[in-house]
Structure 1
């Protein structure tokens, strides 16, 4: 795990999270539609010397994986964001695995987006007919937006080939994100796509953020694009180092954080150089517009795109919203114990 020197030094001299964070506030945020199986996003906001940060590992993640997210929260809470190269970050729309008739209403929440990511394969290849209907509805609702599809590693290699053929027939894709589970399967699929001459670039997500070695994707030629997320990779600076070493075009995406965590993602996206040979020489649209999926956020106003782009800079939660969405005593205990467990993992790494 890459831990920036300032955080590493902090881990060696502080006794625990409460020595760094003067506030720890677990919250539960309602969503407008089910996304990643969730209707409520449980997360934890923390405050340190540099400002507010977010610790938001999903509940099923054990401490060794969730510790990356604590490294990111520590970085954002104690260090200023890097100096941005751009004042705003273009973002894509995100359409969950909803029925085709529900697409237009969700698409309307992302005015000005030049790209749209559509979740597919909720039930693997069995969802393909529903996925194609959803894609058709997205193309109708957002005809000018570049289309991205995200399968979240739900296909077997044979199913992925079937899906790629069907997706190619719907029109051009900017990329298909993580159709299969392993890096080796991704590399084999990319080679087959090239041999078949299908216009479906591949992007790696889970093979980057959940891998022991995120650079194997580049080493095996497994993807055309990598998806990077600040929290799962240990923070803004750690994620940027992965991009630099991989040498592949990168799209920054969210991990379904509140507006506090999204600000760190925007800081990462604004700090990365524009890929020279991809996305027509423009900064790629980041997957950071996901505050639109919350019925209520912790910031007022939430960090939502204006004209398809997010401003770059820190955010701070609204105290009334923190109180409104405060977690109950059991959840506070859960997050407190989780912070301590992840701290111990990081301290061993340091």
Structure 2
């Protein structure tokens, strides 16, 4: 795809801050950039701490989604999971209520400042709320070492885990943990080892994971993500990075184009916002394959200060320069 001129991108830019229902990833609001492209609205939303080189892939994804046609879908709805932040066990029913119809829950564990006992209680509360037929996956964001991960998985295996996502940080640790817990029959999913890696296929080649978590923005767009999935030869879960309704629709376009979709997708995180930029509500635990259009009044209400907008303008300009020079 030909890179659109920077001036055209900035002319179509809106920067907003979305308030969260519950603190998530140590933030209470999600600041992100929306751009109205010729193909529809698109999103550029690397987290604020990400450097320009990492963020450039997110801009490539945004520009592709806004300026190039999406691949043809093979399904019209995408089943999604509920996302349970590192909340107290007593708060689990309230969180799950925001995800009507979802049969799967992803539970955050290994949050800084919490104990394994907190994780165990949270997962048990999800199992109690969802019943025996509910599917539970846990996500440690690479926070455990091998011994901690093995101990934690064994402590929660009776809750019938669907899989454990990024329990350890490195590919080597994932491979060793996978060997240690093979008899438990609990698969390992790789997330950061795909989206933050120089080589996103290294984890698959090393036999360090049973499935991959695929996110369109960090991987540079829908087209590149589809190629990675094809090359990896492993089942995948399409997920989001706490995107707005616009960014979620990019993930939905990716999920809709995959030949196979064996797992519920992590694309229901719009329920974590008190206000989103567009109506993209879950229906029976799934999202329609469509492109939401932001509400102008909501955009105006959530618009950031002039200083914060300029910060994003400068960030996009630097990332655009990196893409132009690549």
TM-score of the aligned structures, taking structure 2 as reference length: 0.97
Are the aligned partners of 1:100 and 1:134 in contact in 2 as well (CA < 8 Å)?
yes
Q: Does 1:185 align with 2:144?
A: no
What is the CA–CA distance in structure 2 between the aligned matches of 1:69 and 1:316, rounded to whole Å? 20
Structure 1 match to 2:226: 240
Residue equivalent to 1:120: 109
Match of 1:106 among 92, 95, 119: 95
Moved over 3 A (4+): none
1:278 maps to what in 2?
A: none
The alpha carbon displacement at 1:123 in A equals 2.6
2:257 is the counterpart of 1:271: yes
Match of 2:305 among 304, 323, 328: 328
1:315 aligned residue (288, 292, 295): 292
How far apart are the structure 2 equivalents of 1:182 and 1:348? 30
Q: Tell me by how many angstroms 1:49 deviates.
A: 1.2
Measured in 2, the distance between the counterparts of 1:179 and 1:295 equals: 29
SS at match of 2:156: helix
Contact 1:21 1:48 in 2 (8 A): no
Say yes or no: does 1:286 pair with 2:279. Answer: no
Contact 2:124 2:159 in 1 (8 A): no
Aligned-pair RMSD on alpha carbons? 1.2
Aligned to 1:27: 16
State the match for 1:73 in structure 2.
62
Matches within 5 A, 1:117-196: 117-123=106-112, 127-143=115-131, 144-168=133-157, 170-194=158-182
Question: TM-score, normalising length from structure 1?
Answer: 0.91
Deviation at 1:75, TM superposition (A): 0.4
Aligned residue in 1 for 2:184: 198
- Point out where structure 1 has 5 or more consecutive residues left out of the alignment: 1-5, 276-282
Superposed displacement of residue 21, structure 1: 5.1
How many residue pairs get aligned? The number is: 325
Between the aligned partners of 2:306 and 2:145, the Cα distance in structure 1 is 42
The one of 70, 80, 83 aligned to 2:72: 83
Q: CA deviation at 1:305?
A: 1.3
- Asked if 2 retains the 8 angstrom alpha-carbon contact of 1:120 and 1:127, the reply is no
Q: 1:22–1:47: 8 Å Cα contact kept in structure 2? A: no
What's the counterpart of residue 3 of structure 2? 10
